[in-house]
Structure 1
Amino acid sequence: MKKVLILFGLIAVVFALCFNTEVSAEEASNDFLYDDLSEGETVVDFYRETVPDEELMDDNVPFHDFQGKESELVENINKGSEITPFAPRSKKWYAVSKSYTGHTYSGWKYAGASTLSGGVLTASHTKSVSNTFSGSLTVTEKVLSSYVGFDIGKSWSRTVSYSTHSYPSGKYRLEYRHVYKTYKVKQEQKYDRRGKASATKYVYPKKWVERQYRVVKF
């Protein structure tokens, strides 16, 4: 019995090393695996793409301290113009706070690999990945990128090439989805950064993290 338990333990360790199976608390229930499936379909495997740390870094975007003096990136600053008592004042939009909200995901998409008689599924495709955002953007993308510390408009291509293990006789297809780290940024409209806000809107910058894959039996 002890030898059997040791064997199962070694198998578990090997599996964990081969496939990065760590999931966040929000994924713990595995309900996400079954999104967008048709009747009679089921998920038989789940994989996570391993992305080198250097591909997740955005060193090209400088971080500015928006809590100090107003940044030169803020919109509608009339440099060199003289302010007189008779000059009309206009309200501007400012990014005033941010928080991390967790992971968000795209829908599941076909990865270009399927089989009608079992066997191995091989993914070999190049797809565009990108940082993005949702919600109401009232400052410029440049201001928002500087505020969160990564380029929200950055887009690049990434090639995937790997094979699953062999499946028994049956119909299978490989699907993928994009994973993002998502932040919530509060924007306020006011005459100056220290003034009282007259309007508030939120934007949700999303930094691409990885692609996740599932094998669907249909």
Structure 2
Amino acid sequence: MPLKERSNVAVGESRRQGFCYCAYCGRLLQKENNPVNPYLFCVRQKYEVKNGCDEMKIMTIPLQAALSAMVVKYVSSLIELQTFVKRSKMKIFQNHKPEMTGDEIEKEILKLKQSTIGLNQRYHEGNFTKEIYILQKDKIKMQIEELEEQKSKIINGIGDMDEQKEWEQELEEKIERFKDRISFTESELAELIARVDVYSQTEIRVKWRFMDFTAKATDYFVRAQKIVC
């Protein structure tokens, strides 16, 4: 940025407020607090540029109304995602209920280990041949390994469920805060909107703060299927 331009650019808190940016140069749009009809503008329009910055004058009231309408639709999509999560979670765990709990598996593993001790004792007493002893010992070892694998899946599943509950709670809180409403303050919009790239009064591009909810839901159900299958 040229020195003469840099000296005229707003700095400090006034430059960092808001979430609307000029799509042409990337600068945060400044707000002209006209009490009758406030508007946003790009500070670069003060200089001789012809790339869109010079025509950047966005009326705040209609822009906020447009963003509020987009938030209404966005919250509706979050509600649909929440419904999908609840139905899918119920279906997965109804169809794949674990036959044993972690404690039950641990007890079964302990029994098998104790039976190995008894097997060794009976072998040394000459109750069966070495071949039968090895066969029985390998069988018990395989059973223990299978139970250890089941136990590991349950433990991992608990961790996944805790993580899933955390973002599911966050999703529910956002829905409860914003559902059944049609208008929002600028600070409320900023809770859901990370950035708005403004091209003109009627052309904007919105980046949502919680678009990763869908990715989290997909990732969770992929891992859940692996755990329960």
TM-score after normalising by structure 2: 0.26
The structure with the greater share of residues assigned to helix is 2
The structure with the greater share of residues assigned to strand is 1
Q: Whose Rg is larger?
A: 2
